[in-house]
Each structure stands twice: as structure tokens, then as C-alpha cells.
């Protein structure tokens, strides 16, 4: 009887084992939209290089909704992008476990993205503390990380040093409201021969995202800091995702001659939480080895 | 599937009865001993922590609009013969005290069960706690100070034969006042050689082997992430095998666990299988004890929901291989939280009891405890994006934590006793984010010294003094701690403690955290009233941690059994 009980137990255990597993085999994923872009109904624009194209600088703000000092950096980024709307592209990258992770119930959202996390891990921004950021991912005094107080002067310095762009980027978007998609034709032209290969990454940013944000303000009466919970904080330039590879693709090999043109077609499926009216396609062209950005460009979904 | 609506009523009245019910029961019985008669036996435990919060901008204490908050519970257990039933009522009013997850807000019967035992068979319906092996694939438990409770609500059968112990269960786990979105089911079998062999039982040898399986079901088949659609495993299984060998004073225990693909927000939606190995060796002789433990954890975060982080909805528990310190500065400034996503850990401990009458031990002997632990991350290589990383079995990554400590305990006379402790620690603050600074450094190294002197003035009067110091040039700087405690046995005690952040980089934050307490023990019931500042810190139990926010005010605590 005891032997029977043992075997019954063993069989019962085996049944549990067999019952409980779904092994997923590669490929683990499939594209959100499987299809081709209808280039007849939505024709790509014509493009020719403009050797007088102006340089556009990328200013990245690595931030988080529980980072009390981060709104100060966001204010600086907003001031820069308002002052130089055609010369600066701003990206607010919510990244890191300390300040960007959801902290329900006050801060339930998770605005972190795969691209932002990959950048943050690679460049070590949140590990160095937030708020912090980068200006064109360029090294200043041996450090790629730029405190927010330096963003304006460093962006100005880059623009003053070489106002003409090395790479020209042009974007044409078709917003397909019924399908919840955006077709984005991206042209790039090498305006001069560059010593490194150039990569182009395509990303989505969104303005006017209303969500809670912690903010520290100075208590002028009692000294110290007051912690504010701003329920309806307006987040600008928020990185929402990427299209294609996180780190982009090579568009020009090293030494590609001036005048070389390439076109990248992207079909972007909108996420329910995005407001298309506030979203932009952001392109970043950078040197593949040194990661320094040579040109940034953005275009609204609806343009 | 919320059950607060079924069982809970938002009223203070019932909560207030918790304390009074215990007092009235106590008044009826001189002895708290329970007696089973023809009506069976009823036992219970209850407790309450009440905070009155005050404004204190200097300490950074959070302003609490409702001022008074309370966590309380009453647990009842009825038993007659093989039948038992119980429930636990909980109330967090109007909200949980600071530091406890606000989603506990409310009140109601959180836990209830009925069970019976018959000839080795034990059947439970309703809520229960359980653990398979060391917990690597399954542990349902409660850690009340953490606000952690993941009991299973479902059905469990245990069958205990001579030498063989079987368990099987299915259910859902607690998720605050709701149930987990995923279902779990699993089984465990353990074979104990000494229980079936009288010859082995009489010897110094024994062998215990066991195996477990735990599966979870979560209904989602796909998840849109960026421009990808992830194929999700609805059924995720984990299994483990374990063995313990005993040979005289030595024992060797090992458990290996593995988990199939389980993409989740914690592991960044990779499909890499998980695994964990825990090995401990112990030697226990009359005056010497030694233990050595090693652990490797790789992608073993296992939850009933793939969308949550922190301490939420954990199915498994990875034991810590670090000393659980009890002295304030050692326990709450830079504790280590076990990294379920990956770590390599090693711990060694030597306990020596210097015999009474020896030159070193003196008249009362002396205890020496040496303990060291070190934890590294995994040595990883990037793999395919969704296939996950590869980790080298024998490699180690960056250092997460180390802790070396030595503790001496010496009784000098019938009246005087001294404990001394020194500890050196290193914590990687990028991995264990326990810093209180807005922009913390990547790591912290610290030295901690403790002196604990107890003076037994008379049989009833005792005085204890604790002096502690944490020295570091990193992070939030050095700390000083002192505690003076006077006990008037068997009922009363009063204490005063103070913490001072002497080395904070911001001089304005070099402030004192005083706290005075008085307590009264009444049989199996204990009341404590405290007032002062609570320092922001980290509370860890068994490697699971939560943040403790700064708070200033008055607290009243009660715990009792009947």
C-alpha cells in the first residue's frame, strides 16, 4: 500500500511537470506590422543634397519622474529648444531604475524605452546621477556627460564652430490615421567625406505628455527643500520608442564621398498611449566609432 | 476578483475592537494557556502599529495630511481534533503607515482557511503559506515589517508517509487586496532515509533528497513592445532538486533550480532560461561551528505577473548569503538586497565558544563569531536581443557587496556583559540603490564599530548601553548611534536612542534623529509608546528590502497572543 502511495505521488508530480511549460523557440517575436509600404499611394519625395544645410545639435536630457531635480534640467532644455527651434533637437530620455522606474501609486507610469535604456547603460548617464545629459554625445574635457547648466553654451559652441552640417537629413511623413501608422521617408546626404562610418537611428518623441513628476523647490522661509508632487506636469521631448535597430544602421561607410545620398523607409505603428498630434520622428546621424552626433533632425507625424 | 468588497467594511469600529477583544479575553483568563475541550480550542494573535506624524522639514520627513495612520491585524485559529480553521482581519486605516505599499489601504478579511488532518493526509482549502526546499522556485510567506505577503489562496494536499513527504497545491497569490493575475500550481516530494531505516536513524548519517515543480499560468499570449510582437509563454515552469547529506558533525546541502523562458519587465523580456544553485557546508561541534555557503543565481526572478517589479507578486525567494545584522547602523544603512536577476555569492562563518575556565574564556567563557561574505554580478556576454545574454559559469562580473565582521560576546560577571562588533562593508550603489542622496556615488565602503554593554543591577533592574559608529568618506557620510535602555522586569522598559549623521556632505543635513520609547509587558501582551525622528533608511528581511522614509512623530505599538 505504501509503495502504491509512493508511485501515485510520483505520477502525480510528473503530471504537474508535464502540465506546466510552454517553451517558446526563436524567433521569439514578429514585426508589429507585416507588410510593405505602398509607395504608389504614398510616394517618396524627391531629394537632392543642399550643401548649405545648417547643423542641428542633439541635446539629450536623461531624466525620471521621481527625480526631484530633473524639472530644472527640463526647463533648460525647453528654453534652448524654444530659442533655437531649427538648430537644436531635444530628447528627454526617461532612464534608470532610481528615478524613472514606476513608483505606484504616485508615479505609476513607466516611460522608459528600450532605446533609452540601451543608451543609458552604454553611456552611464543615470549611473552618474540625474539630471544629466549629453550634447551631440560629444566629449567635453574628456567626459561625454554634460551637466544641464552647460547644455546651452556647449550647443552654441558646436554651432558656432561649424554652422554648416556634415550630413543633411530630410524627412517626409505620411500619417495614416485609419491604420494607426506613419510612413516616414528619410533621406540623408553626406555633405562632406567623413573619416568614420555614419549610422542613422530613427526614434519617436512626444511633447505635452501629462503625467506626475516630483520636483524639489527651495523653501525660502525655513530653508532646505520642499518636495512637490506635480500631478499634471507637462513632459516635453519625451523619447517614446525607436523604429528599426536601436542603434540605427550604417548609411555611409567611412570615407563616403560628399554628395552620397541614401533613403530609409520606415513604417511606424502607433502605440495607443501616443498622441499623434504631439509626436515627431527624430533622426540621429552619428559617427559609428566615436558615437559623436553629426546631425539631428525631427519632423512631426502630421507634417 | 477583489475580495475586499466581499469581506471588508471601511469602518474604524471593528479595528478598535481588536485591542479591546484581546484585553477582555485576557481579563477572563488568568493564564494565556489555551485548553482544548469538547468545543475545541481558539487561539489568536493581534497587533497594531499606530503613527501620529508631525511636520519636520529639517529631517525631510514626509508631510502626511491624515496625520494618524495604523496597520493592524487580528488572527484567529480554531482547532478541534484534526479540523482547523482560521482567519486574519487586517486594517490599514486610513492608509498604511509610511513605507508600506499604499495599495494595502483598506480593511477586510485577508486570509481565511479550513483544513483537516487524517492519518498523515492534510487538506487545506483557502489561504495558506508554503515553501518548497529553500524557496528557490516557491515560497509563500509573510514579512509584516516589509509589507510583504504572498500567501496562496487555493487548495493544498499534503501526505506524510514514513520517510516520504508529498505536497501538491494550486491557487493564486495575494496581490494587496486582489489576487495575482497568474495562477500557480506545483508539487514537492521529499525522502528522508532516517525515517524509514532505524539503523540509519541511530547512526550519525542521514540522507534527505527532494524535488519540486512549480508552474504559473498567465493568460496573455502576445505583447506589443516597440515595433515587435512578443510571443509569450502562458505556462512557465520551474523545477528544483535538492539533497542533504549528514555525516557526524558535517552536513552538506545543495539545491539546484531551473526555470524555462519567462520574459518579463524585470529581465527586459528575454527568453533565456533561469537557474540557481545553492550549496552549504556546515560543521557543528560542541565549541566550534563552521559554515560555508555558495550561491549562483542567473535570471531567476519568478513572479505571477510578468509586468511588475520590486517585491510584488514574487513566487520564489532566493536566500541571502550574508549575515542578517541586527545592530541599527549595520542593518539599515547599507544592507544588501539579493539580486534575483543574477549574482555569485560566497559566505563563510566561524563560531567559537571559548570554554569557561580557560585563560581566554575566564569564569564565564566567551563567544567569537567571524563572518565574511562577498557577492559579484555575473560575467555576461551579449547574446541575441531576445535570446538574452550568455553568462560564464565560472566568471564573475562587477562586485556588488562584501561584508566582513567579527563579533565578541563576553560575560565578565553575573552583572556585566559586553558585546563588541566590527564590520567592514562595500556596497555597489548602482546595483543596490540604498543611498539617500539624489545623486549617489557608484559605491560606498564603510567601517562599523559597535559596543553593547549590559549591566544587571539587580534581578529586576537592567541597564544596557549601545554605542555604534559608521565611518565612511563616501555617499551620505559617517553616522553615530547611541542607545540607553532600562528594564524593570517583568513589566516595564524605557529607552532613548539617537542617531547623528555626522559626516553628511550637506552640513544642513547633519542632524540628530532622537527617539524615546517606553514599553509595558502584560503577560503575552506588549505595548510600546515611542516619540521622535525616524531616519530614512532601508529595511531588509532575508535579502528582501523596502525603503523606510524619514518620519517624525509618535508611535504606539501593540502585539499580543491569547
Q: Choose among A130, A226, A242: nearest Cβ to B226.
A: A242
Residues 6+ away with beta carbon under 8 Å from A215: A68, A71, A227, A228, A230, A233
Closest listed residue to residue B181, CA positions, set B1, B340, B301: B1
Q: What is the mean pLDDT of chain A?
A: 90
**φ, ψ of residue A77 in degrees (nearest 5):** -60, -40
The whole-angstrom distance between B363's CA and the closest CA on chain A is 53
Residue in B closest to A243 by C-alpha: B227
| Shortest Cα–Cα distance, B8 to chain A (Å) | 21
DSSP code per residue over B457-495: -SSSEEEEEEEEEEE-SSTT--EEEEEEEEEETTTEEEE
Residues 6+ apart with CB under 8 A from B416: B453, B454, B455, B456
How confident is residue A270, by pLDDT bands cut at 50, 70 and 90? confident
pLDDT at B251 over 90: yes
Indicate the length of chain B as a whole number. Answer: 562
The answer to whether the beta carbons of residues A56 and A295 sit under 8 Å apart is yes
**B371-395 pLDDT, tens digit each:** 999 999 999 987 768 999 999 888 8
Of A17, A67, A223, the CB nearest to B239: A17
Location of C-alpha cell 507578486: B313
CA distance B269 to chain A (A): 10
Q: Which residue is closest to B233 within chain A, CA to CA?
A: A22
Kindly tell me if the per-residue pLDDT of B37 is higher than 80: no
> Is B472:B478 a contact under the CB 8 Å cutoff?
yes
CA distances from B120 to B82, B127, B475 (A): 10, 20, 56
Model pLDDT, residue A20: 67
Predicted local confidence at residue A19, as pLDDT:
61
CA distance B223 to chain A (A): 9
Report CB contact under 8 Å: A21, B215.
Answer: yes
Cβ separation A6–B164 shorter than 8 A: yes
Torsion over CA of A273, A277, A279 and A280, rounded to 10 degrees? 160
**Contacts of residue B442 in chain A, CB cutoff 8 Å?**
127
Could you tell me which residue, A78 or B4, shows the higher pLDDT?
A: A78
Grid cell for residue B258: 531551473
- Average pLDDT, integer, range A85-96: 96
Q: What is the pLDDT of residue B165?
A: 96
Contacts 24+ apart (CB under 8 A), B83-89: B83/B40, B83/B114, B83/B115, B83/B116, B84/B114, B84/B115, B84/B116, B84/B117, B85/B112, B85/B113, B85/B114, B85/B115, B86/B111, B86/B112, B86/B113, B87/B111, B87/B112, B87/B113, B88/B112, B89/B14, B89/B18
The b-or-e profile of B221-236 (16+ CB within 10 A means b, else e) is: eebebbbbbbbbbebb
Q: Which residue of A has its CA nearest to B226?
A: A241
Shortest distance between the Cα of A62 and any Cα of chain B, in A, equals: 13
CA B451 to CA B420: how far, in whole Å?
Answer: 5
Query: To probe the interface with B, which of A16, A108, A111, A214 has the most B CB atoms within 10 Å?
Result: A16
Determine which of A47-51, A183-187, B55-59 has the lowest per-residue pLDDT on average. Answer: B55-59
CB contact under 8 A, B168 and A12: yes
% of residues, chain A, pLDDT over 70: 91
b/e code B401-425 from CB counts within 10 Å (16+ = b): bbbbbebebbbeeeeebebebebeb
The mean per-residue pLDDT over the stretch A236-255 comes to 91
All 3 cell numbers of residue B140? Answer: 509563500
Is the Cβ pair A97, B508 closer than 8 Å? no
Burial of B248 (0-12, 13-18, 19+ CB in 10 A): exposed
Contact, B304 vs B181, CB < 8 A? yes
Reported as type and span, the H/E element at residue A3 is helix A2-19
CB nearest to A13's CB, from B102, B187, B430: B187
Nearest to B213 among A20, A224, A244 (CB): A20
Mean pLDDT score across all residues of chain B: 90
Residues A135/A139/A141/A144 CA torsion (nearest 10 deg)? 70
CA proximity to B178, closest of B86, B248, B262, B101: B101
ipTM: 0.81
Q: What percentage of chain A reaches a pLDDT higher than 90?
A: 69
Q: What is the C-alpha to C-alpha distance for residues B429 and B476, in angstroms, rounded to an integer?
A: 12
**Cβ separation B229–A31 shorter than 8 A:** yes
Which of B57, B230, B439 shows the shortest C-beta gap to A129? Answer: B439
Closest Cα of chain A to B234: distance in Å?
Answer: 7
Q: What is the mean pLDDT of residues B274-280?
A: 97
Which region among A78-92, B18-32, B41-55 has the lowest average model confidence (pLDDT)?
A: B18-32
Q: How many angstroms separate the CA atoms of A290 and A254, rounded? A: 12
CB contact (8 A) between residue B166 and residue A9: yes
Which candidate from B57, B231, B438 shows the least CB-CB separation from A24? B231
Q: Mean pLDDT across the stretch A84-89?
A: 96
Q: What length does chain A have?
A: 303
- pLDDT classification of A282: cutoffs 50, 70, 90: very high
Q: Report the C-alpha gap between A135 and B154 in whole angstroms.
A: 56
Which residues on B lie below 8 Å from A101 (Cβ)?
Answer: 309
Does residue B1 surpass a pLDDT of 90?
Answer: no
Taking an 8 Å cut-off on Cβ atoms, the answer to whether A127 and B442 are in contact is yes
Residue A15 pLDDT > 70? no
Q: Between B187, B433, B508, which is nearest A12 by CB?
A: B187
State the nearest Cα–Cα gap between B533 and chain A, in angstroms. Answer: 17
CA distance A136 to A196: 16
The pLDDT score that the predictor gives to residue A1 is 44
Task: Give the model confidence (pLDDT) of B315-370 as tens digits.
Answer: 999 999 999 999 999 999 999 999 999 999 999 999 999 999 998 889 999 999 99
Residue B329, classed as helix, strand or coil, is: helix
Q: How far is CA B356 from CA B284, B359, B364, B367, B412, in A?
A: 19, 9, 5, 10, 11
Q: What distances in angstroms separate CA B441 from CA B430, B444, B506, B546, one per listed residue? A: 8, 7, 15, 20
Per residue in A130-152, pLDDT tens? 999 999 999 999 899 999 999 99
Residue of A nearest to B439 (CA): A129
CA angle centred on A231, ends A73 and B59, rounded to 5°: 70
Look up the CATH architecture of domain A57-300.
Sandwich (2.60)
> Across the interface, which of A23, A29, A216 has its CB nearest the CB of B261?
A23
Q: Is the per-residue pLDDT at B12 higher than 50?
A: no
B555 by DSSP, 3-state: which? strand
Q: Do A16 and B260 touch (CB under 8 A)?
A: no
CB count in 10 Å sphere of residue A86: 8
Q: What is the pLDDT of residue B14?
A: 38
The domain segmentation of chain A, as residue ranges, is 57-300
Which residue of chain A comes nearest to B105, CA vs CA? Answer: A105
Is there a contact between B161 and A5 if contact means CB atoms under 8 Å apart?
yes
Among B102, B386, B433, the residue with its CB nearest the CB of A98 is B433
pLDDT at B40 over 80: yes
Cell numbers placing A284: 540621429
| Banded pLDDT at A13 (limits 50, 70, 90) | low
Rounded-to-integer distance, Cα A156 and Cα A163, Å: 10
Q: How many CB atoms lie within 10 A of CB B177?
A: 20
Contacts of B214 in chain A (CB under 8 A): 20
Gap between the Cα atoms of B527 and A69, Å rounded: 42
For B115-168, what is each residue's pLDDT tens digit?
A: 999 999 999 999 999 999 999 999 999 999 999 999 999 999 999 999 999 999
A101 contacts B309? CB cut-off 8 A: yes
CA distance B301 to B316: 8
CA distance A81 to chain B (A): 26
Question: CA of B133 to nearest chain A CA: how many angstroms apart?
Answer: 15
The residues, any chain, with a CB within 8 Å of residue B507's CB and separated by 6 or more, are: none
Per-residue pLDDT of B512-536, as tens digits, reads: 999 999 999 999 999 999 999 999 8
For A176-193, what is each residue's pLDDT tens digit?
988 888 999 999 999 998
With 0-12 / 13-18 / 19 or more C-beta atoms within 10 angstroms meaning exposed / middle / buried, residue B449 is: middle
- Using the beta-carbon criterion (under 8 Å), do B57 and A67 form an inter-chain contact? no
* pTM of the complete model: 0.69
Q: Which grid coordinates are listed for A278?
A: 504631439
C-beta separation of B70 from B50 below 8 A: yes
Q: What is the pLDDT of residues B223-250, one digit of tens each?
A: 877 667 788 999 999 999 999 999 999 9
Contact B226 A241 (CB under 8 A): yes
Sign of CA dihedral B377, B378, B379, B380: negative
B27 pLDDT more than 60: no
pLDDT at B428: 96
Q: What is the pLDDT of residue A9?
A: 65
What gap in Å lies between CA B19 and CA B47, rounded to an integer? 8
Residues B226, A114: C-beta atoms closer than 8 Å = yes
B243/chain A closest Cα distance in angstroms? 17
Lookup: cell for B476: 551620505
- Cβ-defined contact of A23 to B233 (cutoff 8 Å): yes
Share of chain B above pLDDT 90, in %: 80
> How many angstroms separate the CA atoms of B465 and B451, rounded?
8
The rounded distance, in Å, linking the Cα atoms of A228 and A69 is 11
Q: Under an 8 A CB cutoff, do B227 and A20 touch?
A: no
What is the rounded CA–CA span in Å between residue B16 and residue B89? 12
Amino acid at each position: 500500500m505504501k509503495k502504491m502511495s509512493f508511485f501515485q505521488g510520483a505520477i502525480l508530480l510528473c503530471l504537474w511537470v508535464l502540465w506546466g511549460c510552454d517553451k517558446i523557440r526563436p524567433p521569439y517575436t514578429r514585426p508589429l506590422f507585416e507588410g510593405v509600404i505602398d509607395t504608389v499611394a504614398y510616394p517618396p519625395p524627391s531629394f537632392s543634397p543642399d550643401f548649405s544645410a545648417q547643423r542641428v545639435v542633439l541635446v539629450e536630457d536623461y531624466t525620471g519622474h521621481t527625480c526631484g531635480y530633473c524639472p530644472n534640467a527640463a526647463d533648460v532644455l525647453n528654453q534652448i529648444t524654444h530659442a533655437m527651434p531649427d538648430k537644436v533637437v531635444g530628447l528627454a530620455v526617461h532612464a534608470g531604475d532610481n528615478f524613472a522606474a514606476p513608483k505606484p501609486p504616485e508615479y505609476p507610469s513607466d516611460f522608459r524605452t528600450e532605446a533609452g535604456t540601451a543608451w543609458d547603460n552604454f553611456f552611464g548617464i543615470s549611473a552618474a546621477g540625474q539630471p544629466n545629459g549629453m550634447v551631440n554625445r560629444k566629449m567635453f574635457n574628456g567626459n561625454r556627460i554634460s551637466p544641464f547648466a552647460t547644455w546651452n553654451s556647449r550647443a552654441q559652441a558646436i554651432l558656432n564652430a561649424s554652422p554648416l552640417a556634415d550630413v543633411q537629413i530630410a524627412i517626409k511623413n505620411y500619417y495614416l490615421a485609419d491604420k494607426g501608422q506613419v510612413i516616414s521617408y528619410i533621406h540623408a546626404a553626406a555633405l562632406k567625406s567623413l573619416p568614420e562610418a555614419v549610422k542613422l537611428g530613427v526614434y519617436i518623441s512626444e511633447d505635452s505628455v501629462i503625467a506626475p513628476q516630483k520636483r524639489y523647490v527651495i523653501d525660502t522661509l525655513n530653508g532646505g527643500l520642499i518636495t512637490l508632487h506635480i500631478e499634471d506636469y507637462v513632459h516635453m521631448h519625451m523619447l517614446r520608442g525607436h523604429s528599426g535597430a536601436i542603434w540605427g544602421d550604417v548609411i555611409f561607410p567611412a570615407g563616403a564621398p560628399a554628395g552620397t545620398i541614401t533613403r530609409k523607409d520606415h513604417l511606424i505603428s502607433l502605440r495607443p498611449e501616443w498622441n499623434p498630434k504631439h509626436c515627431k520622428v527624430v533622426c540621429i546621424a552619428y559617427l559609428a566609432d566615436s558615437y559623436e552626433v553629426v546631425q539631428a533632425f525631427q519632423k512631426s507625424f502630421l507634417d | 476578483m477583489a475580495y475586499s468588497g466581499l469581506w471588508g467594511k471601511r469602518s474604524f469600529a471593528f479595528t478598535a475592537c481588536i485591542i479591546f477583544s484581546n484585553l477582555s479575553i485576557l481579563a477572563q483568563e488568568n493564564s494565556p494557556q489555551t485548553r482544548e475541550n469538547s468545543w475545541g480550542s481558539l487561539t489568536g494573535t493581534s497587533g497594531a502599529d499606530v503613527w501620529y506624524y508631525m511636520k519636520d522639514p529639517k529631517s525631510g520627513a514626509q508631510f502626511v495630511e491624515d496625520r494618524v495612520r495604523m496597520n493592524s491585524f487580528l488572527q484567529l485559529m480554531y482547532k478541534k481534533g484534526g479540523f482547523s480553521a482560521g482567519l486574519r482581519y487586517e486594517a490599514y486605516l486610513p492608509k498604511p503607515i509610511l513605507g508600506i505599499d499604499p495599495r494595502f489601504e483598506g480593511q477586510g478579511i485577508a486570509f481565511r482557511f479550513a483544513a483537516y488532518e487524517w492519518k498523515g493526509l492534510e487538506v487545506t482549502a483557502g489561504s495558506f503559506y508554503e515553501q518548497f526546499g529553500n524557496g528557490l522556485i516557491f515560497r509563500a510567506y509573510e514579512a509584516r515589517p516589509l509589507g510583504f505577503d504572498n500567501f496562496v489562496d487555493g487548495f493544498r494536499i499534503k501526505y506524510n508517509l514514513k520517510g516520504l513527504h508529498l505536497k501538491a497545491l494550486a491557487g493564486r497569490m495575494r496581490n494587496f487586496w486582489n489576487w495575482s493575475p497568474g495562477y500557480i500550481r506545483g508539487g514537492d516530494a521529499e525522502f528522508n532515509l532516517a525515517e524509514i531505516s532505524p539503523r540509519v536513524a541511530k547512526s550519525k548519517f542521514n540522507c534527505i533528497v527532494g524535488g519540486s515543480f512549480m508552474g504559473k499560468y498567465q493568460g496573455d499570449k502576445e505583447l506589443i513592445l516597440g515595433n515587435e510582437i512578443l510571443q509569450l509563454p502562458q505556462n512557465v515552469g520551474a523545477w528544483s532538486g535538492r539533497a542533504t547529506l549528514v555525516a557526524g558533525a558535517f552536513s552538506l546541502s545543495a539545491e539546484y533550480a531551473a526555470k524555462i523562458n519567462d520574459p518579463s519587465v524585470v529581465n527586459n523580456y528575454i527568453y533565456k532560461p533561469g537557474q540557481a544553485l545553492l550549496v552549504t557546508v556546515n560543521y557543528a561541534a560542541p565549541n566550534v561551528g563552521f559554515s560555508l555557503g555558495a550561491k549562483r543565481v542567473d535570471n531567476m526572478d519568478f513572479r505571477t505577473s510578468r509586468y511588475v517589479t520590486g517585491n510584488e507578486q514574487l513566487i520564489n525567494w532566493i536566500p541571502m548569503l550574508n549575515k542578517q545584522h541586527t545592530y541599527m547602523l549595520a542593518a539599515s544603512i547599507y544592507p544588501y538586497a539579493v539580486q534575483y536577476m543574477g549574482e555569485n555569492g560566497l559566505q563563510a562563518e566561524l563560531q567559537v565558544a571559548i570554554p569557561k575556565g580557560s585563560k581566554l574564556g575566564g569564569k564565564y567563557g566567551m563567544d567569537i563569531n567571524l563572518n565574511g561574505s562577498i557577492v559579484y554580478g555575473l560575467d555576461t556576454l551579449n547574446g541575441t536581443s531576445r535570446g538574452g545574454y550568455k553568462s560564464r559559469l565560472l566568471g564573475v562580473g562587477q562586485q556588488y557587496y562584501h561584508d566582513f565582521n567579527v563579533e565578541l560576546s563576553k560575560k565578565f560577571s553575573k552583572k556585566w556583559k559586553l558585546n563588541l562588533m566590527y564590520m567592514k562593508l562595500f556596497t555597489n550603489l548602482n546595483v543596490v540603490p540604498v543611498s539617500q542622496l539624489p545623486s549617489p556615488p557608484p559605491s560606498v565602503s564603510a567601517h562599523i564599530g559597535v559596543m553593547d554593554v549590559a549591566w544587571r543591577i539587580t534581578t529586576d533592574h537592567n541597564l544596557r548601553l549601545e554605542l555604534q559608529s559608521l565611518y565612511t568618506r563616501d555617499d551620505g557620510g559617517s553616522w553615530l548611534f547611541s542607545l540607553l535602555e532600562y528594564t524593570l522586569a517583568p513589566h516595564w522598559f524605557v529607552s532613548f536612542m539617537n542617531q547623528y549623521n555626522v559626516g553628511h556632505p550637506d552640513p544642513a543635513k547633519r542632524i540628530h534623529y532622537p527617539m524615546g520609547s517606553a514599553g509595558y509587558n502584560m503577560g503575552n501582551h506588549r505595548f510600546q509608546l515611542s516619540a521622535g525622528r525616524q531616519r530614512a533608511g532601508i529595511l531588509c528581511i532575508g535579502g528582501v528590502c523596502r525603503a523606510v522614509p524619514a518620519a517624525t512623530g509618535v508611535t504606539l505599538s501593540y502585539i499580543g497572543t491569547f
